[in-house]
């Protein structure tokens, strides 16, 4: 009973809080994110349907003295049924002879019984609830009666009664209720309600309950009640139009229950039902009770249909582009990867075909509006805008595929492509399986989208097989097909250890002054983003401001020098990217100042390692004999000579300064450069001889000359650290015999910091001298 009272109180509260139609129309339309609300007034009508709505309003306003009518407004989801309804009601209110109307939405009322009670309760209130105090009292009695009736219907259903009999009971009750509401005298209504309540819990036999409920307990025959009701309804000076919206959102059983009620009561004079639904859904719901011909059943209920005027897809596309321009237009720049050609191809070929109606367009616009700010930091867009828009389209219309792309990162990016040659057939099969996620009619569209988004995989769909040279361009364009940017699109934030586009732009801005640049480098290093910065410099050389070369070039020398000696021998290491970016940047500096700026950068930074690489890349004497590739030095011969001289000055100064030189991370490389620039082994060998005179000095030197790497054996899931020595290096700078004598004279345990290096060197020396055989540790 408490639950029943609670539902009754909630129902009464909703009825009393029903807003005035004029107030609703005058509110500002909701055009914000996620807004799919129908339009409310003709001023919002961009589909030019106001004239159509006016004609329908004229038809609905005609009196039907003999019996009521049932019309339908038909159209698919998102095609504007509710918007058209609002235009019609606006017109009805504006007409001096327009019909009264009631807007009923069954979707918000729950089960079929509640829907039936609410529908006829609202009709009764609309007809008589505002005419007099007596009518208000009768409406309140009706509400009490409806609450009791709801309690009856559930036991009836649990007893296994047929839908037809239940419909008959509710129909009779509705007739009595409406008659009471508009003033017909039924003194025994309350008694009927009480009897119904008693019967719902006290009569076990369903047949007797239904038989009893089928009788008219008002003291007069049901036919007489109905005739009197019809007479009252014919006296109305304007019909009542009942709009029943969102029928296609109901469960099938609820749809059948609602349409039974409409069918049973549709012949009351001056009562006009207008049903709004998508035909295919309602017809399927009616199939089980119509011998699988729900359409024919529906035709018996609905006298005429108002089909929504077609909306050209060109109009939908134009509306989409207008709204997209408002939210994304500021970011449609070349710096964000926008090009008119690529966007035109993507929009026409991959996005527009998925926009069938205004709801589709609004859904995509809303998703873009939600996710776009997550890629914006300040005034910088972190990703490629065309890729972003294509991926948002997949997120909205093909969410399963969108999820699969993130899981199949290795496939769509073709990571480790040189090791995937044996997997081409497997990859091609997997690429085709991605397409099978989407419906067959969309596969050609989605295939084109994937080819555009992921060029490395295009070959699998019969497209181009791109060379590695394109990768740098994709990086510059912030494309999703690169491992750097791929996570950014799906995780909606910069990956851990990666520098954001906003921060990189700030770094470029900091190259205006030396103090700002030094502070920026220090901050990047403190945040553990130095490797990421180097990768960005390497990928974006064309973006580096040549006008700031006097500041930026020394900064790049410093950054590269910080990475010297790390990942030596590793393909595409950070150090390699650092000196490569520096060399390419040099080539972009005007030739008349390039040499002097490079020499000054060396003097200012004393960056021996990176300077030696730049000299090597521009020194014709360092070219291998017979090398065929074009020689394009960044520095002229005079600058190369001057930099060699400055380099020798700096290394000699460092060699004379105690332990300064031995601390260099790539000591071996510097020693050989010293030898090359002086055409003699004398200076570097003499320096090493002095440095190893003490046991501590020798132990330290051994550690500095040891190479560190990793090995990976077939079947292992992790690599193993592997330390080694180069025989030529030890012989050149120390001597094999000298090194063996030093090792024999030293107890490695006395130098814990260098013990591993000393024992490893001894093992190698014994092998070189033939004192031991090779074992697995010598791999």
Task: Write down which residue in 491, 520, 554 finishes a domain.
Answer: 491
Q: How many residues does the chain have?
A: 779
- In 3-state terms, what secondary structure has residue 712? coil
Q: Do residues 272 and 418 share a domain? A: no
Task: Write down which residue in 281, 307, 333 finishes a domain.
Answer: 307
Q: Do residues 262 and 354 share a domain? A: no
Query: How far is the C-alpha of 574 from the C-alpha of 581, rounded, in Å?
Result: 10
Q: Cβ(706)–Cβ(723) under 8 Å?
A: yes
Contacts of 330 (CB under 8 A, 6+ apart): none
pLDDT score recorded for residue 49: 85
Q: Do residues 329 and 470 share a domain? A: yes
pLDDT score recorded for residue 503: 93
Q: Do residues 209 and 140 share a domain? A: yes
CB atoms within 10 A of CB 398: 20
Q: Cβ(254)–Cβ(112) under 8 Å?
A: yes
Query: How far is the C-alpha of 589 from the C-alpha of 545, rounded, in Å?
Result: 9
Residue 655 included in any domain? no
- Which among 309, 306, 308 is positioned nearest to 72, based on CA atoms? 306
Q: Cβ(474)–Cβ(455) under 8 Å?
A: yes
The pTM of this model reads 0.65
Residue 505 included in any domain? no
Looking at residue 28, the DSSP 8-state letter turns out to be P
- CA 315 from chain centre, in angstroms, equals 26
What is the bridge-based pairing of β-strands 380-381 and 707-711? unpaired
User: What letters, b where the CB count within 10 A reaches 16 and e where it falls short, cover 236-254?
Assistant: bebbbbbbbbbbbbbebeb
The Cα-based distances of 326 to 47, 100, 320, 368, 390 in angstroms read 20, 40, 10, 11, 18
Q: What does the CA dihedral 725, 727, 730, 731 come to, rounded to 10 degrees?
A: 180
End-to-end CA distance of the chain: 85
Contacts of 107 (CB under 8 A, 6+ apart): 245, 246, 249, 250
Q: Do residues 212 and 331 share a domain? A: no
pLDDT score recorded for residue 267: 76
Residue 11 included in any domain? yes
Contacts of 768 (CB under 8 A, 6+ apart): 727, 736
Chunked into runs of 10 residues, the chain (779 residues) has average pLDDT values of 41 42 50 59 83 90 83 83 90 87 83 74 70 45 40 42 46 54 51 48 47 46 66 83 90 89 79 92 92 90 87 89 94 93 96 92 93 90 96 96 95 75 85 95 96 96 89 92 93 86 94 97 96 93 95 98 71 84 96 97 97 96 77 94 97 90 93 96 96 96 89 57 92 96 95 96 94 66
User: What letters, b where the CB count within 10 A reaches 16 and e where it falls short, cover 155-172?
Assistant: bbeeeebeeebbbbbbbb
Residue 275's DSSP bridge partners are 72, 244
Task: Give the count of domains, the chain.
Answer: 3
Q: Do residues 93 and 74 share a domain? A: yes
Q: Do residues 344 and 300 share a domain? A: no
Residue 580 included in any domain? no
Q: Do residues 279 and 363 share a domain? A: no
Residue 568 included in any domain? no
- How many CA atoms does the CB half-sphere of 753 hold within 13 Å? 10
Query: How far is the C-alpha of 739 from the C-alpha of 192, rounded, in Å?
Result: 115
Q: Do residues 301 and 318 share a domain? A: no
- Which among 548, 549, 559, 562 is positioned nearest to 518, based on CA atoms? 559
Q: Do residues 296 and 369 share a domain? A: no
Q: Tokens 């007809």 appear where? A: 127
Q: Per-residue DSSP letters for 602-669?
A: HHHH--HHHHHHHHHHH-GGGSPTT--S----SS-HHHHHHHHHHHHHHHHHHHTSTTTTTT-TTHHH
- In 3-state terms, what secondary structure has residue 243? strand
Looking at residue 309, the DSSP 8-state letter turns out to be P
Residue 672 included in any domain? no
Domain that residue 186 falls in = 2-27+39-307
pLDDT score recorded for residue 711: 62
Residue 1's DSSP bridge partners are none
Looking at residue 248, the DSSP 8-state letter turns out to be G
- In 3-state terms, what secondary structure has residue 100? strand
Query: How far is the C-alpha of 381 from the C-alpha of 374, rounded, in Å?
Result: 9
pLDDT score recorded for residue 160: 39
Query: How far is the C-alpha of 707 from the C-alpha of 705, rounded, in Å?
Result: 6
Residue 129 included in any domain? yes
User: To 10 degrees, what angle do helices 189-202 and 206-213 make?
Assistant: 170
Task: Write down which residue in 275, 307, 339 finishes a domain.
Answer: 307
Query: How far is the C-alpha of 17 from the C-alpha of 27, rounded, in Å?
Result: 16
What is the bridge-based pairing of β-strands 304-307 and 271-277? unpaired
- Which among 49, 100, 111 is positioned nearest to 75, based on CA atoms? 49
Q: Do residues 319 and 388 share a domain? A: yes
Residue 242's DSSP bridge partners are 102, 273
Residue 287 included in any domain? yes
pLDDT score recorded for residue 231: 80
CATH number of the domain bearing residue 288:
3.40.50.300
Q: Do residues 114 and 85 share a domain? A: yes
């Amino acid at each position: 009973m408490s639950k029943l009272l609670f539902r009754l109180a909630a129902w009464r509260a909703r009825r009393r809080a029903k807003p005035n139609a004029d107030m609703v129309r005058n509110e500002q339309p909701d055009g914000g994110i996620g807004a799919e609300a129908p339009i409310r007034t003709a001023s919002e009508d961009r589909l030019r349907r106001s004239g159509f709505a006016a004609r329908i309003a004229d038809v609905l306003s005609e009196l039907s003295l003999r019996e009521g009518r049932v019309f339908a407004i038909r159209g698919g989801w998102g095609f504007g049924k509710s918007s058209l309804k609002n235009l019609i009601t606006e017109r009805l209110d504006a007409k001096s002879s327009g019909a009264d109307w009631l807007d009923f939405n069954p979707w918000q009322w729950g089960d079929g019984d509640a829907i039936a009670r609410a529908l006829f309760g609202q009709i009764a209130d609309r007809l008589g609830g505002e005419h007099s105090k007596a009518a208000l009292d009768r409406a309140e009695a009706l509400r009490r009666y409806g609450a009791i009736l709801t309690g009856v219907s559930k036991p009836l259903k649990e007893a296994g009664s047929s839908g037809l009999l239940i419909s008959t009971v509710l129909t009779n009750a509705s007739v009595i209720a409406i008659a009471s509401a508009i003033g017909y005298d039924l003194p025994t209504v309350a008694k009927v309600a009480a009897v119904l309540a008693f019967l719902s819990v006290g009569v076990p036999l369903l047949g007797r309950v239904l038989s009893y409920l089928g009788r008219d307990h008002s003291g007069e025959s049901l036919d007489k009640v109905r005739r009197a009701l019809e007479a009252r309804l014919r006296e109305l000076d304007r019909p009542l139009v009942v709009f029943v919206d969102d029928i296609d959102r109901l469960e099938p059983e609820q749809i059948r229950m609602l349409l039974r009620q409409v069918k049973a009561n549709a012949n009351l004079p001056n009562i006009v039902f207008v049903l709004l639904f998508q035909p295919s859904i309602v017809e399927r719901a009616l199939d089980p009770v119509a011998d699988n011909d729900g359409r024919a059943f529906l035709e018996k209920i609905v006298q005429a249909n108002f089909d929504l005027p077609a909306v050209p897809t060109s109009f939908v596309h134009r509306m989409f582009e207008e709204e997209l321009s408002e939210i994304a237009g500021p970011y449609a720049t070349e710096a964000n990867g926008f090009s008119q050609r690529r966007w035109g191809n993507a929009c026409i070929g991959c996005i527009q075909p998925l926009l069938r109606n205004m709801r589709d367009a609004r859904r995509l616009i809303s998703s873009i509006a939600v996710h776009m700010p997550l890629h914006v930091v300040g005034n910088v867009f972190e990703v490629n805008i065309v890729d972003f828009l294509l991926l948002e389209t997949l997120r909205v219309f093909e969410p399963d595929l969108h999820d699969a792309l993130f899981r199949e990162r290795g496939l769509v990016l073709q990571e480790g492509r040189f090791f995937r040659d044996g997997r081409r057939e497997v990859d091609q099969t997997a690429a085709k399986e991605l397409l099978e996620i989407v419906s067959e009619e969309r596969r050609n569209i989605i295939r084109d989208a994937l080819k555009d988004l992921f060029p490395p995989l295009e070959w699998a769909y019969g497209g181009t097989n791109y060379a590695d040279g394109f990768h740098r361009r994709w990086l510059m364009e912030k494309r999703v097909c690169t491992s750097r940017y791929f996570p950014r699109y799906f995780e909606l934030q910069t990956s851990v250890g990666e520098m954001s586009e906003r921060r990189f732009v700030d770094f470029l801005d900091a190259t205006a002054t030396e103090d700002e640049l030094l502070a920026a480098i220090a901050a990047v290093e403190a945040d553990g983003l130095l490797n990421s910065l180097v990768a960005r410099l390497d990928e974006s050389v064309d973006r580096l401001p040549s006008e700031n070369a006097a500041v930026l070039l020394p900064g790049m020398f410093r950054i590269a020098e910080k990475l010297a000696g790390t990942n030596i021998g590793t393909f595409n290491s950070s150090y390699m990217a650092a000196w490569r970016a520096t060399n390419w940047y040099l080539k972009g500096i005007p030739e008349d100042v390039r040499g002097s700026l490079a020499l000054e950068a060396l003097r200012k930074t004393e960056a021996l390692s990176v300077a030696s690489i730049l000299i090597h890349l521009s020194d014709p004497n360092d070219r291998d004999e017979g090398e065929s590739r074009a020689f394009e030095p960044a520095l002229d011969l005079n600058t190369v000579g001057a930099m060699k001289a400055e380099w020798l000055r700096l290394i000699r100064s460092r060699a004379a300064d105690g332990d300064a030189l031995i601390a260099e991370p790539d000591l071996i490389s510097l020693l050989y450069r010293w030898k090359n620039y002086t055409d003699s082994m004398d200076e570097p060998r003499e320096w090493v001889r002095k440095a190893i005179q003490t046991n501590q000095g020798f132990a330290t030197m051994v550690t500095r000359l040891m190479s560190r790497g990793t090995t990976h054996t077939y079947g292992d899931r992790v690599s193993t650290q592997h330390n080694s020595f180069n025989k030529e290096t030890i012989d050149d700078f120390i001597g094999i015999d000298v090194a063996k004598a030093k090792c024999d004279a030293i107890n490695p345990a006395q130098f814990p910091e260098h013990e591993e290096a000393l024992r490893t060197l001894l093992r190698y020396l014994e092998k070189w001298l033939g004192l031991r055989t090779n074992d697995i540790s010598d791999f």
